[in-house]
């Protein structure tokens, strides 16, 4: 992490698990960026992401990233509904 990191660091400590697979870690990384952007106007813009594994480097498509952002937003809505019960 670099830049404006206090929100991302907090969320990483809250949600990261060393047993996460690459897909879960990718979803978390994108979540950290989008959530930090909701709290700090210096963060944001288009997200580019890639996965680096023993098999090599794989750039995520904009559609893949958009799908992850949408899934993360649905989870946020679910959590908000939970607290509204």
- Average pLDDT per consecutive 10 residues, the chain (85 residues; last block may be shorter): 78 95 95 90 88 94 97 95 94
Distance of CA 58 to the CA centre of its chain: 17
* Per-residue confidence (pLDDT) for residue 2, from 0 to 100: 61
pTM higher than the cut 0.95: no
Q: What is the pLDDT of residue 45?
A: 86
Phi and psi at 39, nearest 5°, equal: -110, -20
pLDDT of residue 3: 62
């Amino acid at each position: 992490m670099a830049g404006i990191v206090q929100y991302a660091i907090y969320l990483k400590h809250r949600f990261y698990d060393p047993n996460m697979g690459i897909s879960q870690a990718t979803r978390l990384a994108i979540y950290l960026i989008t959530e930090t952007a909701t709290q700090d106007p210096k963060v944001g813009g288009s997200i580019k992401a890639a996965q680096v594994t023993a098999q090599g480097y794989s750039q995520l498509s904009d559609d893949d990233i958009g799908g992850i952002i949408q899934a993360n937003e649905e989870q946020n809505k679910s959590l908000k509904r939970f607290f509204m019960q």
